[in-house]
Every structure is written in structure tokens, then in C-alpha cells.
Amino acid sequence: MLRHLSTLYRCLLLLSLTWAGASHAKSPNILFIFADDHTIQAIGAYESWLQDFAQAHDLTPNLDRLAEQGAIFDNSFCGNSICGPSRATILTGKHSNANGFYGNNAELKPKDGFDGSQWTFPKELQKAGYNTGVFGKWHLGSEPTGFDEWKVIPGQGSYYNPDFRTPDGMIQVQGHSTQAITNLSIEFLKKQSDDSPFLLMCQFKAPHRTWMPDTDQFDYLRDAVIPKPDTLYDIYETRSSPLWHQEMEIGRHMQYEHDLKINPPLVTYDIQNPHYKRLTPEQRKAFDAFYGPRNRSFEAANLTGLELLEFKYEEYIKDYLRCIKEIDDQVGRLLAALDESGMADDTLVIYSADQGFYLGEHGWFDKRWMYEESLRMPLIARWPGKIKPGSKPEALVQNIDYAPTFMEVAGLKSPKNLHGESMVSILKGKTPSNWRESIYYRYYEYPGPHMVARHRGVRDDRYKLMHFYVTDEWELFDLEEDPQEINNVYENSDYQGIVKRLKKTLAQHEKTYDVPNKDPF
């Protein structure tokens, strides 16, 4: 009997030691903060024509600090610069052709939205014992799969007092959407403990069009003089015919009512705007008090030509940056909550956005093109003890790489058919010798909003080759000589060797990723 008891005791002791050991070896937590349309020019830590302004106006102190504490990637890109497709790629580690979500238009995606039955990294992490939660913008149509908790805005959702789809039906959360999404994320964070790791995906709606700031941010940049990008008045010389046919110019295509919050000749704001309709009486008062006088002076000024373009540009940039300021404030709150939880040292924090955006470059707003501003994705990562503070990795990484990265962080093995590669060794300061030397891009959504032609392309650390394949027009840019991409050198005899090499690389990528030559729609 005694011997049995002692055996039992030894077993219990062993078991408790195993448990203690297991809790020590717990996988790291992942806090993945993902904004919508946040471009690198609007982050103080990123080098760009807007950087001095951003720093002088304290645009993103919390994101800049995150970058100082970890790594900031200069060569981070998407594979298809638009909301839904980038999100589907993040979840699956595969380009659009393999995950089935080519575009936001109905014919470019599965009838019922993203096919959530396919492999995704949140499902794998959940199976491995992670507590998983997603809050905010989803934009994939179907219900999230692989999450213990989810509260996502329907479609593009609302900027103010937004509704959220949940497994138990729709709920409304008060406040600006950036605050509401942060509140839900902090609620989830507060429920976490050292017992099991968590994956928290906090996905802001802002700064997506129509750039509606929180009423508390109206004073921000009120009297600031906004600098202009060199290419604001671009007339697209040397480039392809699709640039003449797009519909995303600030001058010609930005809407007064929704984008600029102007409804001439009424001078008051358009109450048909779905975001405006959701404001509380108090918020509406603040909104009218801010935009009303501005609209009256706009009407009195009777601007035309370049003056009108510059007015639109400045008002657009101010509202966009006000949305960014709110994001940064809320990221600060979220990171403070993580510190308070005591789990920050064991948490990989990633900040990114689904694609970049034009802040007037080439005269544009919106995204979609393979040109730098919309191709690049911000990527900032902090992982105490793993990432050296102040790191600036140069490797060419892409949104296909997030899923395999999160898998490796969780100690899991990715399936072989993913298109991306884990960035963990890059985060730790060592780029694998066989890391990719170029990235692949393909955009499909045409005809569609903004009328950006279908194109495909490849970019390495210096050159970018683009092919508008419907009209069979090519562009080549030497990014070292021409970082603004205004001089297409595809026909230039000095570059024919590069053209030949990159065409071969493009074909190789399409073979590797199994991209059909002919679009399936």
C-alpha cells in the first residue's frame, strides 16, 4: 500500500513538474495590429517626403517607439493591393489565385465570400491551444473561422458607433470605430493569462475612405500647412495608357459629399452620408461646428483649377492624417494594456496594414497599382529578447509571409503548399541565404472602382517590371535612379538585359505560384 502511495506521489510530482515545464515553454503570444490603407508615408519612422512633417506634428509617436523597440521593414510588400485579397493572403499564406479571393467585386471572389474551410493560420494556432480573437474589419464576406472570439464590422462598417457581427448576432459599440475596435481588443486581452498563449488580431477600419476622423481629432493639423508630393501634378508621360483611364485622381474623381464632407450649394454636410447618419446629436454638433465654417469659406472662395485641386488635396490629407493620429493614440492604449497585463515580454507585436495608399502621389488617392506607394505595406515588429531594438531588415518580404511566420512563432510546421516563407530568422537578425530576390504582384479588379487596369509584375531590390496584360503594355522602373516612378525605361536600350532577366523571373514566379495565364473570370 505504502509503495503504491509512493508511486502515486512520484507520478503526481512528475506530472506537476511536466506542467511547470510546459508553462515555461509556452508559445509566445501574438498581438497583430492591422490597419486598413495605412501607408508608410503616414508613419513618422518611415523615410518619405512626408516624414519631416509627420515627425514635426507628432503623427505616430507610439508606432515610432514600437519601431525603435523592434524592427521596421523597408521592403515589405503586398501581392494584390486591395483590402479583401490582402486579408485572404494574410490568413492563408497564398497569393489570390490560390486562396480564391481575387478582388472585392462579386465575380472575383467565391459566391459566399472567403472560403473559410481552407487552411488558415488562426485555425492552426487555435488547434494548438492558442486563445484566438479577431476584432474590427474583416471584409471577407464569410464568417471568421479559427477564432474563439470574433466581433467584426459588416463589410466596410461605420466610422462612428459601429455595428459588429458576432457569433450571437449584431451588437453596437459606442465611439469612433478605432476606439471601439481597441476597446474590444483590450477586453479580450484582459481575459488572457499565462495559462495559454493568445493570438489577438486588432483590425482597424481607419484610415479607409472616406477618412472620417474622431470628433476629438478635428483640432489636429487645423492650421498646418501640408507639404505636397513632387508628383501631385503628374501627367503620366512615358507611362502606359491605363494611367490615362484610371478614375482615382484627387482633382477629377474625389467626391465632394463623402470624401470632402462638402455638399455645395447647401453648405451644410450631406445628411445622406451613412457615417454622418450614425453620429449622436453631440457628435453631430461637433462635426457641423468643424466642417460648417470651412464649407462656407470654401463656397465663398469659389476655387477653380489648380487652387481647387490643392484645396481638395489639403483637406483630404488632413482628414486622412487625423484618422492616423487616432490610430496611433489607440495603439498606445493597446500597448499600455499589454504592459499592464505583464505579458509584453512574451508577446510578438506586429503592426501592419493591408496595403499602402496614395497621399497625392501621381495626383491620386486610393491604392491598387503596383507602384511603390500602394505596393508597400508598413511592417513593424517588436519581440523582446528576440528582435534587436532598432533593426532595419532589408529582406524583401510580402503578405504571403505572415502565416508561415506566425506558425513558426507558435512552434508549428507550415504545410508545404504555402507561397510564403517564415520571417522568424529575419526578425532575429539573420536573413536566410536562399531568401527570395524578388516579389510577385498581380491585380485583377477591372472593371471596378477607380478603373485600374489588370496588371502583373515583379520587383527586386532595384528594378520593377510591370505588364498591363489586357493592352499588352510594359513598364520598367529603375528605382535607384527614379524612386518616384515617372520615367518608364522599358524601351531604353540600356535596360534590355534587365527587361529580359525580369521577364524570365516573372514567368518563374507564375510557375512557382501556379498562376493561370488567363484569368478565370
CA distances from 315 to 91, 310, 319, 358, 491 (A): 35, 9, 6, 14, 39
Is the CB of 90 or the CB of 423 nearer to Ca ion? 90
C-alpha span between 460 and 18 (Å, rounded): 48
Whole-number minimum distance, CB 208 to Ca ion, in Å? Answer: 6
Residue 184 and residue 165 in contact, taking contact as beta carbons nearer than 8 Å: no
Closest by alpha carbon to 106, among 88, 84, 81, 90?
84
Closest by alpha carbon to 87, among 152, 27, 26, 148?
152
Is the CB of 83 or the CB of 221 nearer to Ca ion? 83
One character per residue 74-93, x = contact with Ca ion (rule: CB under 5 A): ---------x----------
Cα-to-chain-centroid distance, residue 403: 15
Whole-number minimum distance, CB 506 to Ca ion, in Å? Answer: 25
Residue 252 main-chain phi, psi, to 5 deg: -100, -25
Give me the amino acid identity at 361: E
Is the CB of 81 or the CB of 132 nearer to Ca ion? 81
C-alpha span between 337 and 5 (Å, rounded): 46
- Do the bridges between strand 71-72 and strand 438-443 make them parallel or antiparallel, or are there none, so unpaired? unpaired
Whole-number minimum distance, CB 185 to Ca ion, in Å? Answer: 19
**Interior angle at CA 201, CA 190 and CA 338, nearest 5:** 35
Question: Per rule CB under 5 A, is residue 354 in the interface with Ca ion?
Answer: yes
Cα-to-chain-centroid distance, residue 194: 29
Q: Which uninterrupted H or E stretch holds 18? A: helix 2-24
Question: Per rule CB under 5 A, is residue 445 in the interface with Ca ion?
Answer: no
Which positions ≥6 away from 508 have C-beta within 8 Å? none
C-alpha span between 289 and 271 (Å, rounded): 14
Interface segment toward Ca ion; rule CB under 5 A; list 6-14, 28-36, 124-132, 269-277: 28-36
One character per residue 304-343, x = contact with Ca ion (rule: CB under 5 A): ----------------------------------------
Is the CB of 207 or the CB of 360 nearer to Ca ion? 207
Question: How many positions of this chain bind Ca ion (CB under 5 A)?
Answer: 4
C-alpha span between 409 and 426 (Å, rounded): 12
Question: Per rule CB under 5 A, is residue 510 in the interface with Ca ion?
Answer: no
C-alpha span between 3 and 79 (Å, rounded): 65
Interface segment toward Ca ion; rule CB under 5 A; list 232-240, 262-270, 354-362, 394-402: 354-362
Whole-number minimum distance, CB 168 to Ca ion, in Å? Answer: 28
Is the CB of 81 or the CB of 414 nearer to Ca ion? 81
Is the CB of 132 or the CB of 399 nearer to Ca ion? 399
Whole-number minimum distance, CB 316 to Ca ion, in Å? Answer: 16
- For Ca ion, the binding residue among 34, 37, 229, 420 (CB under 5 A) is 37
- For Ca ion, the binding residue among 30, 32, 36, 160 (CB under 5 A) is 36
- Give me the residue whose beta carbon is nearest to Ca ion: 83
- Do the bridges between strand 463-468 and strand 455-460 make them parallel or antiparallel, or are there none, so unpaired? antiparallel
Interface segment toward Ca ion; rule CB under 5 A; list 33-41, 121-129, 442-450, 489-497: 33-41
Is the CB of 32 or the CB of 198 nearer to Ca ion? 32
Is the CB of 61 or the CB of 113 nearer to Ca ion? 113
Is the CB of 310 or the CB of 361 nearer to Ca ion? 361
Residues that bind Ca ion in the complex, under the rule CB under 5 A: 36-37, 83, 354
